[in-house]
Structure 1
Amino acid sequence: ISDGVHPGAWIGSGDILRQWAESGPVRYGQCWVFAAIECWSLFLLFDDISNYYYLDDDPQFYSCSEVYSDLLVCWNFHVWVDSWMTRPDLGQEFDGWQASDPTPQETSEGVFCCGPAPVKAIKEGELTKKYDAPFIFAEVNADIVDLVRLSNGEFVKFSGSTKSVGRFISTKAVGSDDRHDITHKYKYPEGSKEERQVYEKAQHHNKLQQRGAEPGLHLKIKLADNMIVGSNFEVFAVLTNNHMKARTCNFLFFARAVGYNGKLGDGCGFASDKVEVPSGEGERLSLKLEYDSYGSAITSDRLIQLSAITIDKQTIDFCKAEKTIVLDEPELEIKLLGEATLNQKVTAELSLLNPLPEPLQDCSFTIEGVGLTDGKPITAKIGSVNPKQEAKASIEFTPTTAGSCVLLGNFDSNKLRNIKSFINVTVNFSGR
């Protein structure tokens, strides 16, 4: 990016707000950047909300069919904001947490905005409550069904392909840095009586129709224990035959790079076989993912989408399993060399081991922290780092606020982008 900052490079909102105040619009941000800015810039009680496996589509389609095109996009995650406020326009019943999305993908009455919508209304299927409740309901409840079009034009559904969006809806825990799951605030437990009532109220009949027996052929993808970027590893697709008779299937297993917004990139692995699976037994197909293949394909999101497909031509039965993996990143270590004292210089040492089998170029470390770096990022450029070697830098800063603070760190290079970490720092009034 030559005309701005990569969205993943920001480590604090202070620099963004300062640039905006001094020179106007700031480039560039994504959903997590806008959500963080909203939390810091408005004086309300806010939570940043992360929704995993998020649908970007028209809110009227609670069931969406994916016919191998780029028209439907499922993001790996999306971030919006919950804010606590009263709703005199709706009544006291809907006071409390309200969902709003600073980066909606659709317009609302011709304007790119979304919310505020009562979280209670979303959970209860009250989709007439303002604002944009149908859109947010779809973001956390829609189903995606994969279809294949046969040579005769007929569409056939993949068995086991239905994917529900809105998993692990999360925010930061109060008083700790742990993930706090709030899925129960947005939806009732899967299969519960309350869930059925909500879907009926919202006319979301597709999910009700899905309750039934397990598919005759069942596919599952199993991952390796160690999948750090730069390494070679194997993943497996396991096919189980629940039919009373043996089945002969064409077995396909492939991998493609994917962005966090669901946009597919180049392929980076493929395996195929023809297997006969006895009744009640299983077969597995392995796929080796090598850095030489995926290294040039993946984006800075470090995501790979795995897809396994079986085709039983005797019964015209298509089965599919899909999983998106996040390659582990090397750990960015931050430590203070001495105690942090108000208005006195202290040094932070940052280090990271290059896990790639090739050198890293244009390497740099950046730190930033409210009350620690005067609201500005401080960067140290270190040049290149050889394979399996350690990158290291020491950066001085002067704390301006006593008490508990957070020091954020970022490592950037041409091949490993925006590796982040943080430490909690206690700033003393004196050196004692």
Structure 2
Amino acid sequence: MDEFKVRTVDLQRVQNQTRHRTEGLSSSTLVLRRGQTFTVIINYDGRPFDPLKEKLIFRIVLGPIAVEVPVSRFGQPSATQWTAILERSVPNPTGPRALSVSLSSPVTASIGVYTLQLRVETRVTVKTHLLGQFTLLCNPWSQADSVFLQSEDLRTEYVMSDIGLLFKGSPGNIVSRPWSFDQYEKGILDICMKLLQVSPQHQADMGKDLQNRSNPVYIGRVISAMVNSNDDKGVITGNWSGDYSGGVNPSKWSGSADILRMWAETQFRPVKYGQCWVFAAVMCTVMRALGIPTRVITNFNSAHDTNGNMVIEEYYNEMGEKLSFSRDSIWNFHVWVESWMKRPDLGRGYDGWQVLDPTPQERSAGIFRCGPAAVKAIYEQKVDAQYDVPFVYAEVNADVRVMIVRDRTVLSTSVDKRRVGALISTKRPGSMIMQDVTSEYKTEKDMVPFRAAGGIAARGYTFGDERTMPREDSKGVAVSLQLLKAPVVGENISFNVIITNNEAAQKLLKKHVNAQNKEYNRNPTGSFWESHDDVKIGPKETVTIKHEISFKEYMLKETAEDSLVNLAVVIEDVKTQERVLASEEFNIRTPSLNIQIQNEVSVIINTPQVATVVFTNPFNVAVSGELTVSGSGLLEEKAQMRITIQPRETTKKPVSFTPRMAGAKMLSANLVLENPPTILHGFKTINVQAS
């Protein structure tokens, strides 16, 4: 009878990827999760396979690391080593015979792109067959994997979901920004694996890097450094200058695929430009693609403590203008990610969510990266826990020392222990609303309850307040600011200055109010509006003075999606020369775009549909700009069109799409206007049903 001879080997791509929950991930290879069995069918000619006469040995290769796995007839998959077990012989009387082999990887296998070979040894011959490549990912479904996540709902959200919301603005006027993570888009998984290969760690010592890739703590640190381009061939260059010539305004990005593709297609030249939410969203894409549960976090009033003293110094002149004396700053919001993993390096109790921050702020062990810092270690103030816990602790807990100065002499000081880390938020699993996670980072005593006023949280930093000076230091006058409604581009900003005389004598006061434009990540620039008056106030009296800043006075100079304002008032007692200050930082929201679906309840896979983008021009002038509609799994190509809309006119633009993936998907629309230079967003989530 003919000798046993292998004809073909079938890697059972569709069946294996369905079982491994990797269907939809686009790769040039088979995609598997570690610690789980997969099936390979060996088609052969000649006499039936006889394990006494033939030896089948799989060779599994990752860079310089190779492991030989002989096929055994009996046994169980192992959690600690590669195994290959003969499942059955598949009879086929007419054609080639087939063997079904069950292969399994250890749950601690390194993630990467492996090469699979099969060697057939008989007494006289040795033949090697190259079977192709497979990409191995972390496995949050496997209880023994260090990224195991208990709940199916949370795995669906933090690993499988490719749509998200990023939160921006200020705590009292939160803006939800749609983002498409795009991990299922063509070629994106392969680019995420390339990110690991281009890293300095891989270039310096390939073998060591590949061995370390079994550990999500290590992977997180590598990705955190590789998403920014500061020390390596990383993905994105940060730019906070307001001048984005030679690149893309960070506010124009709406998904990760464009950024990752541009980086890969230019031989790993950094993409211009990103800011914190872009860095975090791209990192979320990469981590989810690698199988590590990840979510995007926004910290409102985020401290950037440059000297590590846990105190942020702020300076104002006596006219209420904020001064740039300090390198410290408070970012109105800052965006990072949390990834879910075990932390055996920290001892018991620190498994779970870990902060990773790819925005290049400070170096960690000489490289611009941050984390993973265990959220529990931040909560417990365990500042000796690696990595970068003190830096993140300061971001959410630093004190703010506010000083009024004249000629570099301090006229008065107050301390605010509650402003920093005012609200820490993420997208709620399974819905498009915000979830408050502040209590995971901060103890009850460090958290501030927000007082809502006119739909916007108002916080007066009064000098007689327990958040600032102790009661006995309380001066004769208290002041606070109150926004009357959430500011929207095109409308006036209305606010009250509320002054209280705590003493039983009449006072003559000087009132200085000042408004400055600011970037979200640093101190404000020059003033664009001010008001100075004298105020007479009776004994124990409270007076409320209303102010309005017109659209013309604050109109944007640069294209932005949210312009931010620092508003401050200084009250000076003419007789005693004592001064008190209140300040409020807020964003002016852009109007949003509305997306309507023709037949929302029955959106079916592979069935054409129509969406309509609706926008009413709120401005007194005609506006024109470019509308872009995109949707991963819904639109093959982005839909782009130029539009012009007359004052107060409503425009409706239809967009046809055909869903190609079932599940929760999102259509998002961006309208970039030239005058006023602003970016408007809108989104609609769609539940696509299988046919």
TM-score by length of 1: 0.88
- Of 577, 596, 614 in structure 2, the residue corresponding to residue 351 of structure 1 is 614
Percent of paired sites with the same residue: 33
Stretch deviating more after TM superposition (83-92 or 210-219): 210-219
**Once the 2 structures are TM-superposed, how far is the Cα of residue 319 of structure 1 from its aligned partner?**
0.9
Q: Does 1:404 pair with 2:664?
A: yes
* Structure 2 Cα separation of the partners of residues 150 and 259 of structure 1: 25
Deviations along 1:36-59, one digit per CA (max 9) or x if unpaired, are 111111221112110001112325
Q: Which residue of 2 aligns with 1:229?
A: 489
* Partner Cα distance (1:89, 1:296) in 2: 49
- Deviation, 1:313, is 4.2
Task: Please tell me the residue identity of whatever aligns with 1:22.
Answer: E
In structure 2, what is the Cα distance between the partners aligned to 1:190 and 1:283?
32
Give the letter aligned to residue 52 of structure 1: F
Partner residue, 2:338: 82
Task: Select 2:263's aligned residue among 20, 24, 43.
Answer: 20
Change (3 A) 1:163 1:311: farther
Aligned counterpart, 1:321: 582
Residue of structure 1 in register with 2:250 after alignment: 7
2:366 corresponding residue in structure 1 = 110
The answer to whether the aligner puts 1:176 opposite 2:431 as a matched pair is: yes
Counterpart among 358, 361, 367 of residue 629 in structure 2: 367
In 1: Cα distance, 2:609 partner to 2:535 partner: 63
> Could you tell me which of 579, 591, 598 is aligned with 1:330?
591
Per the alignment, in what secondary structure is the counterpart of residue 349 of structure 2? Answer: helix
Q: Work out whether residues 303 and 312 of structure 2, in 8 Å CA contact, stay in contact via their aligned partners in 1.
A: no
Q: Which amino acid aligns with 1:369?
A: G
Q: Is contact 1:409-1:420 (8 Å) kept?
A: yes
The superposition leaves residues 262-282 of structure 1 with CA deviations (integer Å, 9 ceiling, x where unpaired) of: 342443322111123233212
From 100, 107, 118, the equivalent of 2:356 is 100
Are 2:470 and 1:212 equivalent residues in the alignment?
A: yes
What's the CA shift for 1:86? 1.2
Task: Indicate the residue corresponding to 1:201 in structure 2.
Answer: none
**Secondary structure, counterpart of 1:293 in structure 2:** helix
The answer on whether the counterparts of 2:617 and 2:648 sit within 8 Å (CA) in structure 1 is yes
Partner letter of residue 374 of structure 2? P
| Preserved contact between residue 559 and residue 679 of structure 2 (Cα < 8 Å) | no
Match of 1:157 among 407, 412, 428: 412
Q: Is the 8 A contact 2:402 2:415 kept in 1?
A: no
Shift of 1:342: 2.4
What SS is found at the alignment partner of 1:37? helix
Contact 1:258–1:299 (CA<8 Å) still a contact in 2? no
Work out whether residues 64 and 143 of structure 1, in 8 Å CA contact, stay in contact via their aligned partners in 2: yes
Matches of 1:396 and 1:306, distance apart in 2: 45
Distance in 2 (alpha carbons) for counterparts of 1:254 and 1:295: 16
- How far is 1:30 from its partner? 1.2
Q: Which residue of 356, 377, 394 corresponds with 1:121?
A: 377
Q: Separation in 1 of the partners of 2:399 and 2:363?
A: 22
**C-alpha distance in 2 between matches for 1:299 and 1:73:** 23
**Which whole-Å CA distance do the structure 2 matches of 1:264 and 1:252 have between them?**
17
* CA–CA distance in structure 2, aligned partners of residues 90 and 97 of structure 1: 13
Deviation at 1:394, TM superposition (A): 2.0
> How far 1:75 moved relative to its partner?
1.1
> Any conservation in 1 of the 2:356–2:370 contact (CA below 8 Å)?
yes
Per-residue displacement from partner, 1:34-91 (whole Å, max 9, x unpaired)?
A: 1111111122111211000111232512122222225332211000111111112111
Say if 1:250 and 1:211 are closer, same or farther in 2 by CA, change over 3 A: closer
SS of alignment partner, residue 411 of structure 1:
strand
Distance 2:365 2:646 in 1: 54
Deviations 1:298-340 (A, max 9, x none): 7612222211111124334221111122223223110123453
1:204 counterpart residue number: none
Match of 1:48 in 2: 296
Quote how far apart the aligned CAs of 1:416 are: 4.9
Deviation at residue 170 of structure 1 after TM alignment: 0.6
Measured on the aligned residues, the alpha-carbon RMSD in Å equals 2.4
Corresponding residue for 2:533?
Answer: 273
Alpha-carbon distance change, 353 to 39 in structure 1, aligned in 2, over 3 angstroms: same
- Counterpart in the other structure of 2:52: none
Q: CA deviation at 1:163?
A: 6.1
Q: 1:53-68 to 2 correspondence within 5 Å? A: 53-58=301-306, 60-67=308-315, 68=323
Alignment pair present for 1:419 and 2:667? no
User: What amino acid is aligned across from residue 322 of structure 1 in structure 2?
Assistant: S
Contact 1:160 1:320 in 2 (8 A): no
Matches within 5 A, 1:272-291: 272-291=532-551
Distance across 2 between alignment mates of 1:84 and 1:105: 23
Residue by residue, what CA displacement relative to the aligned partner does 1:195-239 show, whole Å, maximum 9, x if unpaired?
xxxxxxxxxxxxx99572255422111112363211224321111
Larger radius of gyration: 2
Provide closer, same or farther for how the CA distance between residues 418 and 10 of structure 1 changes in structure 2, counting only shifts above 3 A: same
Are 2:454 and 1:188 equivalent residues in the alignment? no
3-state secondary structure, aligned to 2:387: coil
Task: Check conservation: 2:312, 2:330, Cα contact below 8 A.
Answer: no
Task: Provide the aligned length of Structure 1 versus Structure 2.
Answer: 411
Contact 1:354 1:389 in 2 (8 A): yes
Tell me the equivalent position of 1:381: 642
User: Any stretches of 5+ residues in structure 2 without a counterpart?
Assistant: 1-243, 316-322, 448-465
SS in 2 for 1:342: coil
SS in 1 for 2:272: coil
- Alignment check: 8 A CA contact 1:59 1:135 kept: no
Q: Is the 8 A contact 1:259 1:299 kept in 2?
A: no
| CA distance 1:299–1:236, shift in 2 (3 Å) | farther
Q: Could you tell me whether the CA contact under 8 Å between 1:96 and 1:118 is conserved in 2? A: yes
Tell me which amino acid in the other structure corresponds to 2:659: P
Match of 2:386, SS state, is coil
CA contact (8 A) 2:556 2:563 kept: no
State the shift of 1:407 in Å.
Answer: 1.4
Q: 1:203 is matched with which residue?
A: none
What amino acid is aligned across from residue 79 of structure 1 in structure 2? V
Within the candidate set 543, 554, 563, 1:302 is matched to 563
The 10-residue stretch of structure 1 (31-40 or 240-249) with the greater mean CA deviation from structure 2: 240-249
- Name the aligned partner's letter for residue 278 of structure 2: V
Aligned to 2:488, what secondary structure does the other structure show? coil
SS in 1 for 2:535: strand
Residues 235-278 of structure 1: per-residue CA shift (max 9 Å, x gap): 21111122343332211112122222234244332211112323
Residue 514 of structure 2: which of 244, 247, 254 is its match? Answer: 254
Matched residues in 2 for 1:162 and 1:247: separation?
Answer: 30
Question: What is the CA–CA distance in structure 2 between the aligned matches of 1:242 and 1:189, rounded to whole Å?
Answer: 30
Gaps of 5+ in 1: 193-207
Are 1:257 and 1:298, in contact at CA under 8 Å, matched by a contact in 2?
no
CA contact (8 A) 2:590 2:678 kept: no
In 2, the alpha carbon distance for the partners of 1:210 and 1:299 equals 37
Letter of the 1:351 partner, please give it.
Answer: V
